[in-house]
Amino acid sequence: MTFSPQEFKQQFPLFSQAENRDLVYLDNAATTQKPGCVIDAIRDFYLHSNANTHRSSHRLARRATDMVERVRAASACFLGAQSPREIIFTRGATEGLNLLANSLCRGLVAGDEIVLSTAEHHANLVPWQMLAEQHGLVLRFVPDANGVPQIDRIAEVLSPRTKIVSVTGGSNALGFRTDLATLRATLRATLSQRDLRWVVDGSQLAAHDVVDVAAIGCDFFVCSAHKFYGPTGIGLVYGREALLRDLPPWQGGGEMITSVDLLASDYADLPHRFEAGTSSLAAIAGLGACIEFLGKQDRRAMAQHEQTLLAYLHDRLSKVPELELLSNPRNNLGIASFVHPRCAAIDIAQWLDGRDIAVRVGHHCAQPLLHAAGHTATVRASLVAYNSREDVDRLIAGIEELLQQLDDTAEPQPSAAGSSESAATEAYPWQPDDLSKLDLDALCNQKNWQDRYRTIMSWAKVISRKDQIRTTEHLVQGCESSAWLVHRQEAGVHRFAIDSDSRIVKGLGALLLSQIDGVSEGAVAPSELHQIFDELGLSQQLSESRGNGFRALVQRAFDLMDA
C-alpha cells in the first residue's frame, strides 16, 4: 500500500486554517498536531458527557466513567498490556516518571543503585536525582560514546545493589533508538538473580512504532499522548500488575482511596490508587479517539514513509556547506539535529520562523547528552507522517537563504582599537566598536520586517569578537543566547562594548549601543530604547525570548551606568 502524506495531512484541521496553510511544521518531537477526530472527541465530551467519574450515580457521571474505563482498555491494547489494571492515567510522561521514581524508591535503602543513561530527558533524570538525594541512593550511568549510551556495556555498571534501570526508548535530542533487545537480554539474566525493576521512557516511540510492552520486556513504560497525535495533559504509565500491587501510591486525595478516617486511609484497588484527584477527562476522551485513529492507519506504511523522508532530510542537510549534523538517519525516530559554525542555533530557528518553518532550538531537555557531544544548543527538525519532501525542501531553502545573507553581509571585523584611540584608552583590555556607520533612520525606513531583519543582521558585522570580555562577570542574565556587556566612563561619557555568539544578538546589541555608547549621563532613558524597539516592530516579529533578551541588555547597560 502506498502512503500519501498529503492525504494523511488533510485529517489535521490546523493545517487547513488560513494562517497555517503555508506552515512547515517540524517540531513533532515536542508535540504533534491533532487529527479532527481528537478535537471532536474533546468537544463532544464537554457537550454531552461532562461530569466527574465513578462516585456519582447520575447518567452523565456514568457516561463519563464508562468512557474513561473504555479508553483505559483501549490503552492497554495500544501498549500490549495484559489487563486494563496495568494502565495508569497521568498528566503526561513527566508525571508518570515522577510517580515511578517516588513509589519505587520508597522501598530502597541507602547505597542502593539506580542505572540511567546520559541520553535521558530531564524528566527521566531529575526525579531520580531528587529521590537519590532524599534516600542516599547511588546513580550510575551506562557507558557512553560522546553521550550516546553503549547498551551492550550496561553490565559494566550493574551490581548486586542495582535496584532500578530507567532508560529512554529513543533520544528526543538526536533521535537514536535505544537497543532495547540487548538491554532485555542483559537484564533477563540479572532479573533471575535479584530484585531489579526496568523502566522505559517511551515518549518518543509511540508516534513511530507499534508499542508492545510484552515484547520489550520492561516492567514499566511511560508515554505522553501529545507526542503521538493525541491531546496534551494526558499520559500513560504501564506497569506489571503484580509489581503495581506492591507499590505504594505517590499522591493522596480523592478517587485513590476507599475509606478515610482521621489517622489512616485504605487505598483503592488498581489502577485507581495511583490516580489521585480528578483526571483530565476530556483529554482521556481525546486519547481514546487518537488510539482509534491510529488503529485505522497503515502503521507500517507510515513508518516506511518517515524513514525514507528522514534519509532525504539528512542527505540534503549533509550538502549544506559547513553545517554539522549530530544525528544519524539509521535507526532514528525521525529527528535531525544540527548546528552551523557561522550562526547560533537560535538565529537559524528565528530566521526559519520568519519563513513559516517551525523547528525547535536549545538543549531539548537533554543537557548532559548535548554537553557530551560538545554543544549547548542545536536546531532540531523532527518528522512525522504528515511531513513531505516539500517540507524538507523548504527547510533547506530557508537555511541556504540565511547562509547567503551571512555571506552578503560579511566584512572584515574592525580592529579592537582604532588608530585615533588615546594612549590612556589603549590601556584598557577592550575597546568600543566603531558604530558610526549605523543609520537608525535608514533602518526605520525599511518597508518591511524582512528588510529590517536583514539590516539588523548586517549590523552584527561591526561587533568584533572580544575574548577578553567573555567572562561570567560580564555575562548578561536573561538573554537566550550568551551575551557579554562591558562599560567604562571616559572623558565624561559612557563607553560600551558587547559580544555574543549569536548574530542577531550582536545586531540588537549594535542597535542598543548606537544609542548609548559615547553619550553623557542622562542623555538617553531606557523608555526611549524600548520605544525604538517597539516602533521597529521588533516586539511583534521577534520571539518573546528575543524581546526579553533586548530588554535584559538595556537593563544591564543602565545598571552599569548607575554603578
Q: How far apart are CA 516 and CA 513, in angstroms?
A: 5
User: Which cell numbers hold the place of 297?
Assistant: 492507519
Q: How wide is the angle at C-alpha 53 spanned by C-alphas 52 and 56, nearest 5°?
A: 85
Q: How wide is the angle at C-alpha 541 spanned by C-alphas 539 and 547, nearest 5°?
A: 40
User: Which cell numbers hold the place of 521?
Assistant: 549621563
User: Which cell numbers hold the place of 253?
Assistant: 486525595
> Which three-class secondary structure state does DSSP give residue 140?
strand
- Dihedral of CA 5/8/10/15: which sign? negative
Q: Is the separation of the CB atoms in 281 and 53 below 8 Å? A: yes
Q: How far apart are CA 452 and CA 25, in angstroms?
A: 25
Residues 6 or more apart from 9 whose CB is under 8 A from it?
A: 15, 386, 388
> Which three-class secondary structure state does DSSP give residue 52?
coil
Query: CB count, 10 Å around CB of 426?
Result: 11
* Beta pairing class for 197-201 and 220-224: parallel
Q: How far apart are CA 165 and CA 149, in angstroms?
A: 13
> Which three-class secondary structure state does DSSP give residue 198?
strand
Which residue, 74, 134, 79, is CA-closest to 109?
134
Helix 389-409 / helix 449-459 crossing angle, nearest 10 deg: 50
Q: How far apart are CA 550 and CA 530, in angstroms?
A: 9
Catalytic pick from 105, 343, 365, 444? 365
Residue the block writes with cell 542555533: 345
Residue the block writes with cell 531489579: 196
Q: Which amino acid is at 509?
A: G
> Which three-class secondary structure state does DSSP give residue 137?
coil
Please name every residue paired with 526 in a beta bridge, in sequence order, or none if there are none.
none
Q: Is the separation of the CB atoms in 199 and 165 below 8 Å? A: yes
Residues 6 or more apart from 424 whose CB is under 8 A from it?
A: none
> Which three-class secondary structure state does DSSP give residue 521?
coil
365 catalytic per annotation = yes
> CA separation (Å) from 488 to 177, 216, 430, 555?
52, 62, 10, 16
Q: How far apart are CA 309 and CA 3, in angstroms?
A: 12
Residues with catalytic function: 365
